[in-house]
Amino acid sequence: MPSEYIPVVIFLVLATLFPIVTLLAAKLVRPQSPFAAKLRPYECGIEPESDSRGRYTVRFYIVAILFVIFDVETIFLFPWAVQLRVLGLFGLIEMGIFLAILIVAYAFGYSLLAFDLIMSLAHKWVSNLYGAFYFMGSFLAGLMALAIFGVTLRRAMGLRDVFSARQQHDLAKLCFGFTVFWAYLMWSQFLVIWYGNLPEETYFLFYRLIGPWRPVGLWVFLLVFVIPFVGLLGAKLKRYPPTLFGFALISLVGIWLERYLEVVPSINGGAGPAIGVPEIGVTLFFSGLFAVAIGWFAGRYPMISPRLAADTLEREQH
């Protein structure tokens, strides 16, 4: 078999094993206590309003296809970075326009993802700002993950000269700024719902801020905003790798907890929070897959353009 087909075969094997392994693991981990009431349709308590065999709207699949397009478009950034000096100013301006359009499309796609996959779980709740809030939380998670990878892989990949203290400081300022922006969007959404005092809007927040879910809501606010805001306020802590790593990790844990708070209360039938082996196991599994994918790519292809690295070293001297 030609070596070019080996990644394709690996991908097909993983794609085949993934649903089989996940279904078997779910069957082994989940509690099995079937009884007559539980086996009835809509056992969660929602009264059926139409035929249960209705088709999914085509918009659901269009949103899924959008993210495939984003992945393909991101691949084109690599050859552009390698040939940046050859393309010159025209190539830089062209890529700037392309990235501006890509970011707008990415924000639009993530907003639809929030509406279709999270807001639809609480079908009576409406918030026009939730899509932007969800996208900004995902963008903040990406910056925090980039900070963790930068600090962790700088020594392993020999990037001390390329990823300098000045660049780490700039990345930490981005993390700090978007942490504040996350809090701004959260407060903007909360203030409008609180002032309007409409039952179809307030119940979603009140259910998550009182009773058994209140500690989870407080921890989300502390982990995503308060601790990173206070920790990354000074310049020294931004330049110190261990503190940047710690605050970025805290923020990622808080964003994960925020997603848990947004989804689980809508589907667990009124029960309180229960974070156990299934929740942590799924998180570690997908985090491991992501790390393996990054490691596989880094071991076979250059992660940094030599020209961009030379430009970085040149700017550091001025």
Q: Tens of pLDDT along 193-226?
A: 888 777 777 888 888 888 888 999 999 999 999 9
pLDDT value at residue 229: 92
Q: Tens of pLDDT along 241-273?
A: 889 999 999 999 999 999 999 888 888 877 888
Q: Tens of pLDDT along 14-53?
A: 888 888 888 888 888 877 777 776 666 554 555 556 665 5
DSSP state of 163: S
How far is it, in rounded angstroms, from Cα 306 to Cα 158? 13
Q: Tens of pLDDT along 292-302?
A: 887 787 777 66
pLDDT value at residue 43: 47
How far is it, in rounded angstroms, from Cα 63 to Cα 113? 7
List CB contacts of 124: < 8 A, sequence separation 6 or more.
Answer: 200, 203
Mean pLDDT, all residues of the chain: 80
> How many Cβ atoms sit within 10 Å of the Cβ of residue 298?
14
How far is it, in rounded angstroms, from Cα 77 to Cα 293? 18
Could you tell me what percentage of the chain is helix, strand and coil, using 3-state DSSP and rounding each to the nearest 5?
Answer: 75, 0, 25
The answer on pLDDT for 116 being more than 70 is yes
CA distances from residue 108 to 67, 105, 122, 141 in whole angstroms, order as listed: 11, 5, 21, 17
pLDDT value at residue 144: 93
Q: Contact at 8 Å (CB) between 179 and 238?
A: no
Q: Contact at 8 Å (CB) between 113 and 65?
A: no
pLDDT value at residue 56: 62
